[in-house]
Structure 1
Amino acid sequence: MGSALKRMLLPRVKRHLSPLSLKKIHWHIDYLLAVSDISIIKSILIPSSFREECTIAQSIKELSKDEVLRFGSSDCTCISHLFYFGEKEPFN
């Protein structure tokens, strides 16, 4: 989960989806995606002029089993922006 306000949303998502060889590792998600067993399978984009990620993260946290402490939330007071839900059926 992250925020890229207004016109930066699509470039940020494209960057995260690009091969690791084409970018410098910078964001927490870059380190996670450097692991060969991990990939992005679904993205939900919410265009906004305001930072909504902390509000959304809090709602997701209430549904999750656990979180990765401070992952993706080093610039705010949230416990995490990466959550674990246990084993689920693959997304369709």
Structure 2
Amino acid sequence: MVAEDSGAYRLTLQLDQAATITVGRLGSFAFKAGQYAYIGSAKRALSKRVARHQRLAAKKSGKLHWHIDYLMSHPDCHMIKQELFEAGKECEISAAMARRRGVTIPVEGFGATDCRAGCKTHLYKLPERKMATE
């Protein structure tokens, strides 16, 4: 049985400046400035989970529970986009992100410590976009 308000989500984040961030028990890591994509899921209350991420990103305060919370609570990190997907797609979306050209893995295991599909991470550093010259 699948809960009505369940599914996967992808958050696009902007880290304005490079930062060293401690991610719970995972450890401290150097994050480069730029855009990141995080893929997560919720078996129930998907809308509440995403709203919680939005509040944490905006207010920079709240209980830090998941790996993504540590990044989102950093003062230079901002959520710039969210996308929702049907349940059971988290690892499929993560695998597709890993195959994209120029995408890198900033921290192995980030958001994927309970992943049964073998994902190395659920957080990806997106490639820098080149500005079009006029």
Determine if the TM-score, normalized by the shorter chain, exceeds 0.5.
Answer: yes
Query: Which has a greater percent of strand?
Result: 2
Give structure 1 regions of 4+ aligned residues with deviation exceeding 3 angstroms. Answer: none
Question: What number of residue pairs does the alignment pair up?
Answer: 86
User: Where in structure 1 are there 5+ consecutive unaligned residues?
Assistant: none
Q: Larger Cα Rg: Structure 1 or Structure 2?
A: 2
Equivalence map 1:70-81=2 (5 Å): 70-76=109-115, 77-81=118-122
Give the Cα separation in 2 of the matches to 1:87 and 1:12. Answer: 28
Among 19, 40, 43, the alignment partner of 1:2 is 40
Matched, 1:36 2:72: no
**1:87 match:** 128
Contiguous gaps of at least 5 residues in structure 2:
1-38
Q: RMSD between aligned alpha carbons?
A: 1.8
* TM-score relative to the length of structure 2: 0.58
Q: TM-score, normalised by structure 1?
A: 0.82
Match of 1:45 in 2: 84
Q: Aligned residue for 2:105? A: 67
